[in-house]
Amino acid sequence: MSYANAEELLAAIQPESGGTEVRDPATGEVVGRVAEATVAELDAAIDTARASQPGWDALGHEERKRLLNAAADNIEANAEALAELLSREQGKPLNGPNARFEVGGAAAWLRAATAYEVEPEVVVDDGETHAVKHYRALGVIGAIGPWNWPMMISIWQLAPSLRMGNTVVMKPSEYTPLSVLALGHVLNQVLPAGVLQVIAGGREVGERLAAHPEIDKVMFTGSTRTGKAIIRSSADTVKRLTLELGGNDAGVVLPDADPAAIAEGLFWGAFINTGQTCAALKRLYVPESIYDQVCQALVEVAAKMPMGPGLEEQNVLGPLQNKAQYEIVADLVKDAVDSGATVLLGANPDEQATGNFYPTTLIGDIDPGNRLVTEEQFGPALPIIKVKDVEEAIEHANALEVGLGASVWSADRAKAAEVASRLQAGTVWINSHGTIDPRVPFGGAKQSGYGLEFGLDGLKALAQPQIING
């Protein structure tokens, strides 16, 4: 079944009465209501997932691939209703690399999970020893998602899990439950009953999911602090974990870069989803020889990008999804300004305005130890730090305890690759930032988490390797 608009889709997932209101971060209007599950209801869902898993696994790879591709078709058939709901709940505009882009990405990543063959691998066959590695389903996967890319990151978690024969119990963020409930509803029009269950709930439900003895692996995207709590809660049952945690990604501009040529790439690297992206560019190191030119080029690009309510087609930047995140961004920018940093653009929010809108902000002449540089702002504010040379930039880039992504910007690809090899990050991009691809493995370094997602590596991470020797 396809839905003509978000209202029709909401009617299919909302409780008939009661529930918790979810509000649009752009307007404050009620988007819909969600029925929050109890811990007992979560336990029942996990029991259902456990009972459903052997039958799902027994279907085999080819039938699971067929069903996942059919589920992707259903996402596409409901794309506009999903995008409209996502825009209203999360705040991101329909256009640009935002709501319609995210829904399209959800379908694409679901299809990507079917694009690889996961065959047994002969490890040794020398006439005396014959050892073969197989990849078996783990069982039941607990998936805990964030509020910034709620649909697409849910797919990153559930698609490889289902492909490998696991069943999934998913808990969305309390800030964006409707988007994920709607996505689950669309998928479950195709998938067998009990294979995928979305359980909206609060902190107690999340903690129970992470610690539950019948959950075989937890996939989590979110803050490093919460990731550490999940590690502790998973210890008693030695759960497998894939954790994509906080990032404070550095960008390093080399002296030979053309400021005008890289400005738009730098902007979208930093401000995609209004800066609310784990692997966004969050601190930019620029050599003093071209510092002023890079700052000016960025200001010219950023000043042209319209910000406003997501359902207005012209906008490409939206509000912060929640007031708590707005306050974090505002506090960090205020600290930078109070320290004497230069406001190149923005930093002047209208406190009386409706919605969690923080203006596109560029901050220059900032100390590398300022909190706006060393703490993840997760919003539309970019500090631009002046450095003497590349060595100083590398030192600052590697100084923090996180390392999700990084980027190098240069006209000389070989030189950029050499610098990239010295940056401590799970992914380093050259002349772009945050451009992920479902074929390319993705995961963090240091306290930005561990485990790989995407591609064949991501599929194997949702399986138990078994060696048959003999």
Non-local (6+) Cβ contacts of 456 within 8 A are 116, 118
Domain boundaries, the chain: 6-245+448-469, 249-437
Give the tens place of pLDDT for each residue, 373-404.
999 999 999 999 999 999 999 999 999 999 99
Mean pLDDT, rounded, for 193-213: 96
User: Could you give the percent of the chain with pLDDT greater than 90?
Assistant: 99
Catalytic residue of the set 80, 89, 102, 278: 278
pLDDT at 1 exceeding the cut of 90: no
Instruction: Give CA–CA dist 457/156, Å, rounded.
Output: 13
Reported pTM: 0.96
Non-local (6+) Cβ contacts of 437 within 8 A are 454
pLDDT at 352 exceeding the cut of 90: no
Mean pLDDT, rounded, for 439-454: 97
The torsion region of residue 233 among left (phi > 0), alpha (psi -120 to 50) and beta comes to alpha
Give the tens place of pLDDT for each residue, 213-269.
999 999 999 999 999 999 999 999 999 999 999 999 999 999 999 999 999 999 999
- Helical (H) or strand (E) element with 402: strand 402-403
User: Is the CATH code 3.40.309.10 the one for domain 249-437?
Assistant: yes
In 10 A of CB 375, how many CB atoms?
16
Task: Please state which CATH number belongs to domain 6-245+448-469.
Answer: 3.40.605.10
pLDDT at 10 exceeding the cut of 90: yes
How long is the chain?
470
Mean pLDDT, rounded, for 317-341: 98
Domain 6-245+448-469 shares a fold with domain 249-437: no
Q: Mapped to the 3 state alphabet, what secondary structure does 413-445 carry?
A: HHHHHHHHCCCCCCEEEECCCCCCCCCCCECCE
Give the tens place of pLDDT for each residue, 106-116.
999 999 999 99
What rounded mean pLDDT belongs to the chain?
97
pLDDT at 187 exceeding the cut of 90: yes
pLDDT band at 351 (very low <50, low <70, confident <90, very high): confident
375 part of the active site: no
295 part of the active site: no
Look at residue 218 in the predicted model and tell me its pLDDT.
Answer: 98
Look at residue 58 in the predicted model and tell me its pLDDT.
Answer: 98
Give the tens place of pLDDT for each residue, 157-172.
999 999 999 999 999 9
Question: Which candidate, 212, 208, 170, places its Cα nearest to that of 187?
Answer: 170
Catalytic residue of the set 80, 102, 244, 376: 244
In the chain, DSSP finds a helix count (H) and a strand count (E) of: 16, 20
Look at residue 250 in the predicted model and tell me its pLDDT.
Answer: 98
Give the tens place of pLDDT for each residue, 64-108.
999 999 999 999 999 999 999 999 999 999 999 999 999 999 999
Look at residue 353 in the predicted model and tell me its pLDDT.
Answer: 86
Mean pLDDT, rounded, for 442-455: 97
Look at residue 366 in the predicted model and tell me its pLDDT.
Answer: 98
pLDDT at 140 exceeding the cut of 90: yes
